[in-house]
Amino acid sequence: TVFIVFCDSVTNGGKTTLAEKLKKMLPNCDIISQDDFFKPESEVETDERGFKLYDVLDALYMDEMVKSIRNWMKNPRSSGVVKEEPQNTCDSLKNTDHVYILIVEGFLLYNYEPLNELWNRRYFLTLPYEECKRRRSTRVYQPADTPGYFDGHVWPMYLKYKNELEENASNIVYLDGTKPQEELLSCVYGDIIQELKKLRE
How far apart CA 124 and CA 162 sit, in angstroms, is 9
Domain assignment present for residue 165? The answer is yes
Average pLDDT over residues 110-138: 95
pTM given for the model? 0.90
Question: Would residue 27 count as lying in a domain?
Answer: yes
Q: Answer whether residue 125 is part of any domain.
A: yes
Q: Is residue 139 part of a domain?
A: yes
- 151 catalytically annotated: no
Annotated active-site residue in 8, 30, 35, 97: 35
Distance set, CA 147 to CA 49, 62, 128, 142 (Å): 11, 28, 20, 14
Q: Measure Cα distances from 107 to 6, 10, 34, 160, 164 in Å.
A: 10, 6, 7, 12, 13
Q: Say if 130 falls within a structural domain.
A: yes
For the segment 43-52, the average pLDDT, to the nearest whole number, is 94
Whether pLDDT at 44 is above 90: yes
pLDDT value at 53 more than 70: yes
Q: Total structural domains in the chain?
A: 1
2, pLDDT greater than 90: yes
The whole-number pLDDT of residue 62 equals 97
What are the counts of helices (DSSP H) followed by strands (DSSP E) for the chain? 6, 5
* 104 close to 35: Cβ distance less than 8 angstroms: no
Q: Are 125 and 175 in contact (CB under 8 A)?
A: yes
Quote the radius of gyration of the chain (alpha carbons, Å).
Answer: 17
**For the segment 18-42, what is each residue's pLDDT rounded down to a tens digit?**
999 999 999 899 999 999 999 999 9
Domain of 47 in residue numbering reads as 2-75+98-199
Q: Among residues of the chain, what percentage have pLDDT more than 70? A: 91
Show the CA angle centred on residue 73, arms to residues 57 and 121, nearest 5°: 65
| Cα–Cα dist 24/147, whole Å | 37
> Does residue 88 lie in a domain region?
no
3-state secondary structure (DSSP) of residue 46: strand
CATH of residue 23:
3.40.50.300
pLDDT at 83: 46
What is the rounded CA–CA span in Å between residue 116 and residue 169?
Answer: 10
Residue 160 lies in a domain: yes
pLDDT confidence of residue 78: 72
CA distance 151 to 137: 12
Task: Please state, in angstroms and rounded to a whole number, the distance separating the CA atoms of residues 162 and 133.
Answer: 17
Q: What is the mean pLDDT of residues 59-80?
A: 90
Residue 162 located in a structural domain: yes
- Predicted local confidence at residue 79, as pLDDT: 60
